[in-house]
Amino acid sequence: MKERASVFTSVLMIEKPLTSVDVDFVTTLHGDDPVSFFVLMQPRGDQDRLLRAIDDVALGELPDAIREGDEPEGAAARGPAEQALAHSLEALRKKGAKAVGRIIEEHPLDKLKAVVEETNADEVIVLTAPHFVEEFFHRDWASRARHKVGVPVLKLFAHNE
């Protein structure tokens, strides 16, 4: 059994900037215990456009489904992702948590497994919008990560502000 460190380490996978509600929630999950976060940010444009549009329709967000074609992809998505990551790290630090992170553009689950091993993480938190199609077929990050990383995986739905 893994010996508990003095700081609880969470790998946090996100696809958009953390809201203040998200930050409050993840920083209080373990009560008053000190928490360190390693944040992995995947640029939203790297995910399948069709699946995003289907999710938008399923959520009744028709205007968002129409705008899916406007989402930056590839290199154009990198800048917004870096800004989202910087915002999220700063928000976590303002709540007193240690936080570092990186952008993951390819093979996110392989990178997740490597980061869990490198940091000796206690858990993985996948904070995402609902992805109905992927969740139905258990192809979402949390479902796939549970079979890969060797630590508990908590799936939470991100909030909008």
Sheet arrangement for strand 123-128: 98-103, 35-41, 8-14, 123-128, 153-157
Q: Confirm if 97 and 35 have CB atoms less than 8 A apart.
A: yes
- Buried b / exposed e across 102-136, counting CB within 10 Å, b at 16+? ebbbeebeebbbebbeeeebbbbbbbbbebeebbe
Beta strands 98-103 and 35-41 are parallel
pLDDT digits 0-9 by tens, 74-87: 556 567 789 999 99
pLDDT digits 0-9 by tens, 85-101: 999 999 999 999 999 99
Rounded-to-integer distance, Cα 124 and Cα 144, Å: 12
pTM: 0.74
Residue with tokens 């992170």: 101
pLDDT digits 0-9 by tens, 120-140: 999 999 888 665 555 544 446
Rounded-to-integer distance, Cα 26 and Cα 102, Å: 18
pLDDT at residue 72 greater than cutoff 60:
no
Rounded-to-integer distance, Cα 90 and Cα 96, Å: 10
